[in-house]
Structure 1
Amino acid sequence: MHTTIFSNGKTVQSTQEQRSTVTSVASRSPGVLSWKNVFQFWGAVEQQEKSSNNGRPSTKRQLSSESTQTIRVVKKEESGSVVQKEVYSEVHGLKTQEGEKGTVFTRTSPVKRKLRRDLFSEPKIFGRVDSHVLSISKQLKAEGVYLSRIVHCVTQGAQSELERVRAIWIWLCHNIQYDVSGYLGLSEKMCSPDQVIQAGKGMCCGYSRICLEMCREVGIKCMEVSGYGKGIGYRLGQSYQNKKSNHMWNAVQLGGHWYLLDSCWGAGTVDIESMTFIQRPEDFIDSHCPDDPQWQLMNSTVSLAQFQQRVFKTSAFYRLGLSIISPKEFHMQTVNGEAMVSMRSANAAEFTYQISQLSGGAAKDLSSSFGLLTVSRQGMTLKLVECSEPKSLEKLPENPFLSWGLHQTAKELGLRECSQGAETIVVDTGSFELILWTTRPLTVLCELVHKELDPTLSKRCVVSQIEQNKLTCRVLCPFRGYYRLSVFVRDFEGESSLQNSGNFLLKCTGPTINLNELFPPALSTSCGPGIKAQKLGISNPSHAAPIITTQQGKCNITFHNSQDLEFTAVLEKEHNKITKHPLDRHVLFTYMDSKVMVSVCLPEAGIYKLGLREDSFQQRLHPCL
């Protein structure tokens, strides 16, 4: 999908791409051009368009001429005579209304139609039909037979009109290659069914004519529809005004309802889920705009001007079950330098994006920090921020993981809920606390990134606490501006590698923390009472948090000890200059049955690290004055 953003006279193009494997329909034999040749050709032809009398390349004019044929359906009677039967009356009933973006047609009565999902649940149900067609096609190709025998062979065993249409479509997609050289005007274009079948290649008029003739042979009403298609050579935003149409496709009637399909765009497709077979009219109009608006098969039609502005979508967009929430057009006007792109996903999917700035016809890739991507099981939201040149203070940190907020796989990793969403978190006090509730014991590692923070200083800005059903990350912000806080987790008892479970964007706007008041260096990965303490029988701590603020440098820390353990203390302070004696002498233990009290009397103001140890157990608390 391509979305172009306008901001302060500059254009920024955001691209979200879904990868898919598509088998080329161009012949690999000598003398036939490949798709790569097509794009190389258009690069040269594009330069000639400006000097052309009508602004269009000759190959496009040739394409248009094939679309100017009379549209009708022909049905053969038992006697062999041919009867022309007009079918327009079945889709008539439109009234016109002039608007800012051209003429819009609205139906006086609803169009008679069924949804694609009502016709068939999923393309996999055609497995038997598809297999038969692919199998018989090899035999037919060797025999060199003609249209009538082909259609009766491929539809043999089809149990409904729908299966017969499917068989015809599959045969066309797999046995007729697209005539690239004919499209470029380098050879004679072929539209006659006999010519196309014999050559094994054709253009859109050839596909649509064969589909029409084959449907006629098996008694199915079919129409050729001419119009505009966003296919090869399409450029985002190009105008179709005052130009002849360039494409042809078909409409078929099944069970009294009309449906749209394009075998030309399905050519070479090995994926049976291709959406060019009986696509929803609301999706088909994104890439196909008929000359006659009645063949949009929608109650409220789309004008040609509106068609030009619609978001461009690839076939992978539909295969992945995606739908656009906003925007509906590829041009968006930013508000205060921001814009939003939202999509819904039927299934869990991975998303990425690329932002480019257009200048003088050339695209310049921009940093991913201009976008805030949020991904969930329901879809994605991409917020484009500061499309114009941002102030250095407001430049966003790079996010190698792209999406913000909890990752869509967070539940599988053991995370149940988070205290923060995907929106930017404003920190106005210099400190921030993130809480993650878990479904099982986890280990956590937090990474804090800011343009002024080096890795050593960054570690002194974060303290993590690991509890049975909760992970807590406390952050100090020594500078103003944006921070990226990334969270990595794994099972507490496991040895697997840490996995990214979420990324959060922090914006410090208020007072900052003095660099001399950051957390002590070399802290444990988990501070404060946690899972290790519970396993040793330690409970009911007087201070549940890992950070303690003392009054007059004194505090008492108590907890219950069910296993009658003996403890030692390690008290440390960075740059301690008052005494040469160990600071441990400022800590006193008092044992009262199962209760333990740790009394601390600090010699001077500052940040201390207190470690309580018993064998392999180490618990660290941080009194802060």
Structure 2
Amino acid sequence: MGCGSSTDTKPTNSRETRDTVISDVDIDDNFNESSKNKNWSNSSRKSPSHTASSPALTNRRQDLSKHQTLKSTSVDEGIELEALDEEDYPPRPCRLKKSDMIQHPSMFTSIDSHVAKTPKSATTSIPELAKYLCQPAKNRLEKIRAIYQWVSRNIEYDVAGFFNLGGAQRKSCDPESVLRSRSSVCQGYADLFLFLCREARVPAKTISGYAKGYGHKPGVAITTKTDTNHAWNAVFVQNEWRLVDCTWDAGHVDGNTFHRHEGEFYFLTDPDVFINDHFPYNKTDMAVSQQWQLISPPHDLETFSKSAAIKKHAFLYNLEFMSHRDAVITVNKDVIVKFVAKGKALKNTGAHLNDMEGTSFDQCVFVEKERDKTYCVTVKPQKPGTYNLRIFGNQGEQQTLDSLVTYVIECKTVDKAVKSFPVHFGLWGAGPYYADFGFDDRVAQKALFESDSGELEIRLPFTEPVKALGKLANSEDENGDDQFLMMEQGQSELLVHVRMNRLGFYKLLIFAKKEKSASYDLALQYLINCKNPGKQYQAFPHVYPEALAGRMTLVEPKTRSLPAETKVHFRLSSSVIDTLMIGHTTFERGVNNTWDVDVVTPSSGENLCVFGRSSNTGGGSFTGLYKFDIR
């Protein structure tokens, strides 16, 4: 999307910009803009000239240009005027981390509060605004914070001009015009920040280059022939240059509407993180451009172009994508993308797979936690082609997941015998709150089980007895039911018996209830691969929750359907239930807490129910345990 120079009647001199913006349809709160054939005339020695400049601003620039010839022998953090010449402060790799400079966000509470109270009278001109913002600042860092805070919190992205909504023209990027309209694209954000810094006597630059925001297409090469598409700033503080992007911290666009957010990820960002999605490029000199990466050794453009654009939340969550660093992944049959949480573990993570037309292929994706903080995304496309793989996650209590990274999957060959996974967005295995339901940590050790016969027994250890319900669904039948699974509660574990009659993948869901809760919530979700169903299995008897509470074990019969008017042998055990009633006959518990009894089934079409009673309940009433269908 390009517009050449600004469509405003007072275009910025030598600043032809082409801008694209982020829509959170892409679940990414970044902006991405572009400037074309833009030199860095607004380096630390020159202020950009604008045809729309006011006399007051012109005079102020003349005053600044006189000061800029001065040489300062000190680069302390005082508020005295210091030189702005690039020769005084050449770009060098940063020594400090952002965490060294900003040890806690509360250090800016007073400054941020002052900025939030900016009166309208202080916004009549750039000199007046800079004067007000920096009044309480004790050092250069606080000045920069005040200016950044005001620009990123008060300038809206020019969505109407960008999309030409209703014939709207692009607003001017001239700093004074941006101050008046409170709306612009990236160039306006960057230049307003620059001029406010100059007024506050803070060395600053506007830098143009390539950014990987909305509109960036992984796999499409970025070369020196590609138009630059973004602008941001560098400021000199604590004896080194640091990087700032007010546009990307201002908010995001949803459809045709700009939405603010309170982020500050791109405020003095560490350069080794900033280079992930910002590549400075002066069309005339790559060597000089690379210096403004502020890292050693600098990245080359080819590396930047090929690398995956890691989203900001991946850095905030301290994630490392260890298996694949390039954006394009060539796949033969399948691939596993691995990443690790180097700090706090993720609460949840999930992935979407779509082809280039947007068709979902989420049934080709399986996400699991391999170890405590290592996550694996398995992709098994069912047909060759090109896909977008988007990975999401979060660490907090929020329901939404944040975008972490996007890959392009180039699938060359597929395994025609492979079956699709059941559709499930999120992490397979134990949910984040399994322990709250009484399950032991061992239930989180694996997410995938396999069966070579069609039958499977899964043991789920618990720290206290659990109240649970289950559901089993084949990948081709998303509804599922409880007919082919039966749960029993032992002394220290929940036993889940599973029967499968189809080849392929199944989804096993375990719902559990907390002690004082009235509802069952999802606690565990496992994937089962049935490699070879041995025979056509019958459904299990219907099991009531009271059978779990009574720690009942049903040895036989284990089929839901029983023949009519036939003697059937029942073998059961329990350490809690004293008396059973099968049909209309009662049976007392025998040796070793067991029952071995014969029962004649009723007529076809009726049900045969098993009830139980415990002397510990005090009431003496029977409760339902199992139900059989009579055929």
Q: Please tell me the TM-score bracket, short chain as reference.
A: 0.5 to 0.7
3-state SS, counterpart of residue 132 of structure 1: helix
Hey, what does 1:107 align to over in structure 2? none
The letter of the residue matching 1:209 is D
Q: 2:229 aligns with which of 246, 271, 274?
A: 246
3-state SS, counterpart of residue 365 of structure 1: coil
Hey, what does 1:280 align to over in structure 2? 270
3-state SS, counterpart of residue 550 of structure 2: helix
Does the C-alpha gap of structure 1 residues 499 and 393 become closer, same or farther in structure 2, counting only changes over 3 Å? farther
Aligned: 1:260 with 2:243: yes
Hey, what does 1:532 align to over in structure 2? 550
- Structure 1 distance, partners of 2:189, 2:344, is 32
Hey, what does 1:132 align to over in structure 2? 114
The letter of the residue matching 1:86 is E
Does the C-alpha gap of structure 1 residues 391 and 621 become closer, same or farther in structure 2, counting only changes over 3 Å? farther
3-state SS, counterpart of residue 132 of structure 2: helix
With normalisation by structure 1, the TM-score equals 0.68
- Structure 1 distance, partners of 2:466, 2:517, is 11
Does the C-alpha gap of structure 1 residues 465 and 88 become closer, same or farther in structure 2, counting only changes over 3 Å? farther
Q: 2:521 aligns with which of 489, 499, 514?
A: 499
Q: 1:373 aligns with which of 367, 370, 380?
A: 367
Contact 2:197 2:204 in 1 (8 A): yes
* 1:134-192 C-alpha deviation (Å, 9 max, x unpaired): 21143323xx2x22221121111122321110101122223444456776898687454
Range moving further from structure 2, 282-291 or 505-514: 505-514
- Structure 2 distance, partners of 1:88, 1:272, is 35
Matches for 1:220-231 after TM superposition, within 5 Å: 220-231=202-213
3-state SS, counterpart of residue 224 of structure 1: strand
- Structure 2 distance, partners of 1:192, 1:128, is 30
3-state SS, counterpart of residue 542 of structure 2: coil
- Structure 2 distance, partners of 1:175, 1:524, is 60
Contact 1:480 1:512 in 2 (8 A): no
Q: 1:465 aligns with which of 485, 488, 505?
A: 488
- Structure 1 distance, partners of 2:89, 2:301, is 23
The letter of the residue matching 1:336 is K
The letter of the residue matching 1:367 is F
- Structure 2 distance, partners of 1:270, 1:454, is 39
Does the C-alpha gap of structure 1 residues 87 and 465 become closer, same or farther in structure 2, counting only changes over 3 Å? farther
> Alpha-carbon deviation of 1:225?
2.1
Hey, what does 2:379 align to over in structure 1? 384
Aligned: 1:431 with 2:455: yes
The letter of the residue matching 1:243 is T
Range moving further from structure 2, 333-342 or 69-78: 69-78
> Alpha-carbon deviation of 1:429?
3.1
Hey, what does 1:85 align to over in structure 2? 85
3-state SS, counterpart of residue 267 of structure 2: coil
Matches for 1:105-504 after TM superposition, within 5 Å: 111-141=93-123, 144=124, 146-179=125-158, 190-231=172-213, 233-241=215-223, 242-267=225-250, 270-291=260-281, 292-314=289-311, 324-340=321-337, 342=339, 344=341, 346=344, 348-358=346-356, 363-374=357-368, 378=373, 380-388=375-383, 394-400=418-424, 402-419=426-443, 421-450=445-474, 459-467=482-490, 469-491=492-514, 494-504=516-526
Hey, what does 2:565 align to over in structure 1? none
Contact 1:460 1:521 in 2 (8 A): yes
The letter of the residue matching 1:432 is L
> Alpha-carbon deviation of 1:289?
0.2
Contact 2:205 2:233 in 1 (8 A): yes
Does the C-alpha gap of structure 1 residues 479 and 245 become closer, same or farther in structure 2, counting only changes over 3 Å? closer
- Structure 1 distance, partners of 2:94, 2:268, is 15
Hey, what does 1:17 align to over in structure 2? none
Does the C-alpha gap of structure 1 residues 460 and 513 become closer, same or farther in structure 2, counting only changes over 3 Å? farther
Contact 1:137 1:171 in 2 (8 A): no
> Alpha-carbon deviation of 1:447?
0.9
Does the C-alpha gap of structure 1 residues 558 and 531 become closer, same or farther in structure 2, counting only changes over 3 Å? closer
Matched residue pairs, number? 502
Does the C-alpha gap of structure 1 residues 414 and 262 become closer, same or farther in structure 2, counting only changes over 3 Å? same
Hey, what does 1:579 align to over in structure 2? none
> Alpha-carbon deviation of 1:293?
0.8
> Alpha-carbon deviation of 1:132?
1.1
The letter of the residue matching 2:582 is V
* 1:250-281 C-alpha deviation (Å, 9 max, x unpaired): 11222113211012333458544321211222
Does the C-alpha gap of structure 1 residues 187 and 449 become closer, same or farther in structure 2, counting only changes over 3 Å? closer
- Structure 1 distance, partners of 2:446, 2:198, is 56
- Structure 2 distance, partners of 1:364, 1:207, is 33
> Alpha-carbon deviation of 1:455?
7.5
With normalisation by structure 2, the TM-score equals 0.67
- Structure 1 distance, partners of 2:597, 2:98, is 73
- Structure 2 distance, partners of 1:452, 1:72, is 63
